């Protein structure tokens, strides 16, 4: 008998937590996994909520227990595992049923999957879910890309389980097909930049100022209630204060300094470049993770390349403001990329609503997002957050600190790639006259690419003086 309103395939970290969240809000959920022991563990750990969970042991049993039109949520790795599961389950579904991918997926693949399923009458939803295990269990932030029909079907359940910010559910139908996964991808890109900038400030305190771990934790702790207030600063304080029970050492000092990455940061940068945009602070964060992985080379390089004597590191209040400026700029880059995608794919993304649903539940939730939501609802000259009156004032106050920190780090030979990329972007935007006139001259000289003049219309070429020294050398 069809009993369940939704089915969740994949009972790993996220699938299991979402199933319990739905059950707690009174929804009947069918659960399935390729691994029967995951189902047993999910049922055993559900306590009284087990009454609302319906364990299934085969795909046909899973589909049969779902009310029609069916809604099947996959919480498994994107890519080949998902494609394989879609190929199997589509044979069992009926016209009007909906497949939802709640994992982190490349939005291009989401669009292709939606287009592939549509002729057979199946709906496909790409839904970004953020908040990690705790978010999924007690209230995630969700970014839904779907048809209006699928949104109407899913909305009551998603509203019920979403995180709430002052009563507002942190879930939105952001656009069609790939829009939800695109927005989630950019969310993760911002997450990468925020984490990297926090790590850069930690590095300045550790390697520049020579502070002990407890002192660094104290500094971050003091920022928890100020303008940097956020989930990621909270996680930083907890990380810095956790002691390994086996050794009695600070756990963070025992963790290998090679960062992992599953792809969403990289996708943000790739899509930004494809759209003719730059997300340089996010790119620097992706690159920093990649460089961190080259541990053996770095250890060797420390002895082969000249050391730099660290100079004075700015005081905590300056570090705090610098981190705030960097955070604002990373978000501004992310929102700029989303705006470009919205135009390119005709999505009509509502950036203010996106900021609103990121105010609770997700990994990048922070006090800043409330300001961003306000700024995005207001006047946004040239579509740039850095020009909104709210953020202009914030940046005017905090950019001098960012300059001070980037300068001190540079002179001390301490890498702050994300903070300095953010500052470089800000300084590029801030100049009415760039240096691209020289680039245009070079392009015309070596490739006859042409240029526009300030004093007359049309495309022109230069009558360049002299000859190229390198050409003379080669022919001589």
Ligand X SMILES: NC(=O)C1=CN([C@@H]2O[C@H](COP(=O)(O)OP(=O)(O)OC[C@H]3O[C@@H](n4cnc5c(N)ncnc54)[C@H](OP(=O)(O)O)[C@@H]3O)[C@@H](O)[C@H]2O)C=CC1
DSSP state of 24: H
Cβ–Cβ < 8 Å for 289, 269 = no
For ligand 5RP, the binding residue among 81, 132, 400, 413 (CB under 6 A) is 132
Restricting to residues 129-168, which ones interact with ligand X according to CB under 6 A? 129-130, 132
Of 2, 37, 1, 43, residue with least CA distance to 23? 43
Q: How many CB atoms lie within 10 A of CB 95?
A: 9
What is the spatial distance between Cα 3 and Cα 20, in angstroms, rounded to a whole number? Answer: 16
103 binds ligand X (CB under 6 A): yes
Residue 203 interacts with which of ligand 5RP, ligand X, none, CB < 5 to 8 Å by class: none
388 binds ligand 5RP (CB under 6 A): no
Quick check: bond before 368 cis, omega within 30? no
104 binds ligand X (CB under 6 A): yes
Indicate the residue among 81 and 424 with the shorter CB distance to ligand X.
81
256 marked as part of a ligand binding site: no
**Residue 71, CA distances (Å) to 30, 87, 153, 173 in order:** 10, 16, 9, 16
What is the spatial distance between Cα 461 and Cα 154, in angstroms, rounded to a whole number? Answer: 58
Contacting range for ligand 5RP; rule: CB under 6 A; set: 239-247, 259-267, 329-337, 451-459: 259-267
Residue 77 interacts with which of ligand X, ligand 5RP, none, CB < 5 to 8 Å by class: ligand X
20 binds ligand X (CB under 6 A): no
Contacts of 444 (CB under 8 A, 6+ apart): 450, 451, 461, 462, 464
Distance in angstroms between the alpha carbons of the first and the last residue of the chain: 88
Indicate the residue among 145 and 316 with the shorter CB distance to ligand X.
145
Spell out a b/e string for 319-332, using b for 16 or more CB atoms within 10 Å of the CB, else e. Answer: bbbbbbbbbbbbbb
What is the spatial distance between Cα 94 and Cα 367, in angstroms, rounded to a whole number? Answer: 45
Contacting range for ligand X; rule: CB under 6 A; set: 124-132, 328-336, 414-422, 426-434: 124-132
Let me know if 184 is a catalytic residue. Answer: yes
262 binds ligand 5RP (CB under 6 A): yes
- Nearest approach, Cβ of 413 to ligand 5RP (angstroms)? 27
Cβ–Cβ < 8 Å for 28, 34 = no
Which of these is catalytic: 191, 200, 320, 356?
191
132 marked as part of a ligand binding site: yes
Phi, psi of 433, rounded to the nearest 5 degrees: -115, 110
CA dihedral 79, 80, 81, 83 (to 10 degrees): 90
138 marked as part of a ligand binding site: no
* Contact string 32-61 vs ligand X (x = CB under 6 A): -xxx--x-----------------------
Contacting range for ligand X; rule: CB under 6 A; set: 60-68, 73-81, 197-205, 326-334: 73-81
Contacting range for ligand X; rule: CB under 6 A; set: 74-82, 249-257, 297-305, 321-329: 74-82
Let me know if 317 is a catalytic residue. Answer: no
- Nearest approach, Cβ of 470 to ligand 5RP (angstroms)? 44
192 marked as part of a ligand binding site: yes
443 marked as part of a ligand binding site: yes
Which of these is catalytic: 5, 38, 184, 356?
184
187 marked as part of a ligand binding site: yes
Restricting to residues 63-122, which ones interact with ligand 5RP according to CB under 6 A? 104
Cβ–Cβ < 8 Å for 70, 11 = no
Catalytic residue positions, numbered: 184, 191
Where is the binding site, in residues? 104, 130-132, 187-188, 192, 262, 289, 443, 449
Where is the binding site for substrate, in residues? 104, 130-132, 187-188, 192, 262, 289, 443, 449
């Amino acid at each position: 008998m069809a009993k369940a309103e939704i089915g969740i395939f994949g009972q790993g970290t996220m699938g299991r937590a979402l199933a319990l969240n739905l059950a707690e809000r009174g929804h009947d959920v069918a659960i399935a996994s390729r691994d029967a022991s995951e189902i047993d563990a999910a049922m055993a750990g559900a306590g009284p909520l087990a009454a609302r969970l319906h364990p299934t042991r085969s795909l046909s049993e899973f589909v049969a227990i779902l009310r029609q039109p069916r809604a099947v949520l996959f919480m498994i790795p994107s890519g080949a595992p998902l494609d394989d599961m879609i190929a199997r389950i589509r044979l069992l579904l009926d016209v009007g049923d909906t497949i939802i991918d709640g994992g982190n997926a490349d939005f291009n693949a989401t669009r292709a999957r939606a287009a592939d399923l549509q002729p057979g009458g199946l709906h496909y939803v790409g839904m970004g879910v953020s908040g990690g295990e705790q978010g999924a269990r007690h209230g995630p932030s969700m970014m839904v890309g779907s048809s209006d029909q699928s949104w109407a079907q899913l909305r009551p359940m998603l509203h019920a389980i979403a995180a709430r910010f002052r009563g507002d559910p942190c879930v939105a139908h952001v656009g069609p097909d790939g829009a939800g996964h695109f927005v989630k991808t950019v969310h993760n890109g911002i997450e990468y930049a925020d984490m990297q900038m926090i790590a850069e400030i930690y590095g300045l305190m550790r390697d520049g100022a020579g502070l002990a771990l407890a002192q660094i934790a104290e500094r971050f702790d003091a920022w928890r209630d100020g303008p940097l207030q956020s989930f990621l600063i909270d996680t930083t304080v907890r990380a810095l204060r956790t002691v390994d029970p086996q050794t009695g050492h600070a756990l963070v000092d025992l963790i290998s300094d090679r960062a992992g990455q599953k792809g969403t940061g990289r996708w943000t940068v790739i899509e930004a470049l494809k759209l003719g945009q730059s997300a340089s602070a996010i790119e620097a964060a992706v690159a920093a993770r990649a460089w961190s992985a080259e541990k053996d080379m770095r250890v060797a390089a420390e002895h082969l390349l000249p050391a730099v004597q660290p100079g004075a590191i700015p005081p905590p209040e300056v570090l705090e403001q610098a981190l705030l400026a960097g955070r604002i700029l990373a978000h501004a880059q992310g929102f700029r990329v989303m705006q470009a995608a919205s135009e390119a794919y005709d999505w009509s993304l509502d950036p203010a609503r996106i900021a609103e649903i990121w105010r609770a539940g997700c990994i990048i939730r922070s006090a800043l997002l409330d300001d961003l939501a306000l700024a995005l609802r207001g006047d946004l000259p040239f579509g740039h957050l850095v020009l909104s009156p709210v953020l202009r004032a914030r940046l005017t106050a905090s950019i001098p600190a960012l300059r001070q920190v980037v300068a001190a780090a540079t002179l001390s030979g301490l890498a702050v790639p994300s903070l300095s990329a953010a500052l470089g972007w800000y300084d590029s935007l801030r100049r009415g006259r760039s240096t691209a006139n020289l680039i245009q001259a070079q392009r015309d000289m070596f490739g006859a690419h042409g240029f526009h003049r300030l004093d007359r219309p049309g495309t022109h070429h230069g009558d360049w003086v002299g000859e190229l020294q390198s050409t003379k050398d080669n022919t001589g």
